């Protein structure tokens, strides 16, 4: 194990603890490999009946992939990539697939920041997942803010959110809290932060085979305390505007709405990569008709195109490296994005037999 991932087994439960607090548990390639190694070892281990993944810090469960790593290595060649970047995304997406189909209860304590790659290691399949949020949860798929798109299976789980919520969350990259996560089907249980210590004791003391039911019983009294969902309150407007056929049409629709929601949404979208908002809109649309493996293979193709295009390199530069918050998006406006630019991202990079995720099913 790397210094940032700790594993242990107690009472029939395997525990994975992310411990990179200064980077909000941003995932490195070594961390992806450590998590994968643990899950593969426990998958067929009769002594492990459930898995818990958590953070050592209350500030963040996981803020995503290590974008400084993407920047440094993505600039390594004229094609905008390196072997390490290629390995990272291939292995991260394979891990997301492993988690989705994990045969044992997979419990994610989504306390604090949960974004991007953090969503990928929390959004297990419906048969195994137990996703717990608190009032500290700050959840987002914010990739359009750095010139990327919602990956790590985002095309699958966003496209299956109720109504047009997935398109809204992906295209805008907005951050939501616990009530919204529950409403959107991106979390299962709410536990107040003050009760997380008691929950941790429950996880440690309950046999792994009984953990899923024990968590549901523990969390049940708190459901009413989660508060009202903003997404629920704005659902009619979200479905009306984000059901439009293109991002340009979404913006035109929002401009006809003088509500605070519409104006705030327009302001957020004005700062995002115009090209990647359009790519995201198309990706979520396509994802609705694909299975998990197909979504991850498609996203892997888009990643290669994205780094060759360079939009993500510029986004990370502006947000993290130079911190000028003034990315020079190409194109710089939504009007300049044409359909050919978007569809280019969906063109195959490899023949099917050579795709790096060809073995996923």
Task: Report the mean per-residue pLDDT for the chain.
Answer: 95
Question: Does 353 have pLDDT greater than 80?
Answer: yes
* 311 given a catalytic annotation: no
| pLDDT score recorded for residue 268 | 97
Say yes or no to pLDDT of 79 above 60: no
Instruction: Determine which of 126-140, 267-281, 303-317 has the lowest per-residue pLDDT on average.
Output: 303-317
Q: Stretch 142-154: mean pLDDT, rounded? A: 96
Residue 95 or residue 307, greater confidence: 95
Average pLDDT over residues 224-247: 97
DSSP 8-class letter at 28: P
Catalytic residue among 14, 112, 117, 177: 117
Using DSSP, state whether 186 is helix, strand or coil. coil
Say if residue 285's pLDDT is above 70: yes
* Closest to 15 in 3D by CA, of 51, 47, 39: 51
pLDDT higher than threshold 80 for residue 77: no
> What CATH code would you report for 5-354?
3.90.226.10
pLDDT at 47: 96
Q: How many residues does the chain have?
A: 361
In angstroms, what CA-CA distances link 123 with 94, 96, 106, 165? 14, 8, 9, 16
**List 64, 65, 147, 287, catalytic entry:** 65
Confidence of residue 81 (pLDDT cuts 50, 70, 90): low
Q: Does pLDDT of 80 surpass 60?
A: no
Residue among 66, 111, 151, 188 flagged as catalytic? 151
Task: Please indicate whether residue 117 is annotated as part of the active site.
Answer: yes
- Among 143, 188, 309, 311, which one carries the catalytic annotation? 143
pLDDT band at 67 (very low <50, low <70, confident <90, very high): confident
- Say yes or no to pLDDT of 358 above 90: yes
pTM: 0.95
Query: Quick one: average pLDDT of 299-317?
Result: 92
Tokens representing 234? Answer: 């704005």
Q: Are 73 and 80 in contact (CB under 8 A)?
A: no
H helix intervals, the chain: 29-43, 67-74, 83-100, 117-120, 154-157, 165-172, 178-183, 196-205, 211-219, 230-233, 235-242, 247-255, 260-269, 274-287, 292-309, 311-316, 339-344
Spatial CA neighbour of 52 closest among 120, 113, 130: 130
Q: What is the pLDDT of residue 308?
A: 87
Catalytic (active site) residue 299: no
* Extents of the domains making up the chain: 5-354
Average pLDDT score over residue span 30-59: 97
Asked if 118 and 62 count as a contact pair (C-beta separation under 8 A), the reply is yes
Q: Is 80 a catalytic residue?
A: no
The number of C-alpha atoms within 13 Å of 321 and in the hemisphere containing its C-beta is 17
What integer pLDDT is reported at residue 74 of this predicted model? 67
């Amino acid at each position: 194990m790397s210094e940032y991932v700790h594993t242990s087994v107690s009472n029939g439960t395997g525990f994975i603890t992310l411990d990179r607090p200064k980077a909000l548990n941003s995932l490195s390639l070594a961390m992806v490999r450590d998590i994968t190694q643990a899950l593969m070892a426990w998958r067929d281990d009769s002594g492990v009946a459930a898995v818990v993944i958590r953070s050592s810090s209350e500030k963040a469960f996981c803020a995503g992939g290590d974008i400084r790593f993407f920047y440094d290595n993505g600039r390594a060649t004229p094609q905008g990539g390196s072997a390490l970047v290629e390995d990272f995304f291939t292995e991260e997406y394979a891990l997301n697939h492993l988690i989705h189909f994990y045969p044992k209860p997979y419990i994610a304590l989504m306390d604090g920041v949960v974004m991007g790659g953090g969503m990928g290691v929390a959004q297990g399949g419906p048969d195994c997942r137990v996703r717990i949020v608190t009032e500290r949860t700050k959840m987002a798929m914010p990739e359009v803010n750095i010139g990327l798109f919602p990956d790590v299976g985002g095309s699958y789980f966003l496209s299956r959110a109720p109504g047009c919520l997935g398109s809204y969350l992906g295209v805008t990259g907005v951050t939501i809290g616990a009530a919204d996560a529950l409403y959107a089907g991106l979390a299962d249980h709410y536990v107040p932060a003050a009760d997380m210590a008691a929950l941790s004791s429950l996880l440690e003391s309950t046999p792994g085979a009984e953990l899923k039911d024990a968590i549901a019983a523990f969390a049940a009294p708190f459901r009413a305390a989660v508060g009202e969902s903003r997404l629920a309150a704005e659902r009619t407007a979200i479905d009306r505007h984000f059901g439009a056929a293109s991002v340009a049409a979404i913006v035109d629709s929002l401009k006809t709405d003088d509500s605070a929601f519409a104006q705030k949404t327009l302001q957020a979208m004005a700062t995002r990569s115009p090209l990647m908002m359009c790519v995201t809109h198309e990706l979520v649309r396509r994802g609705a008709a694909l299975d998990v493996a197909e979504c991850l293979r498609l996203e892997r193709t888009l990643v290669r195109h994205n780094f060759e295009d360079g939009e993500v390199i510029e986004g990370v530069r502006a947000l993290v490296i130079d911190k000028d918050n003034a990315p020079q998006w190409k194109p710089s406006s939504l009007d300049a994005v044409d359909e050919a630019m978007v569809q280019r991202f969906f063109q195959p990079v490899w023949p099917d037999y050579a795709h790096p995720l060809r073995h996923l099913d």
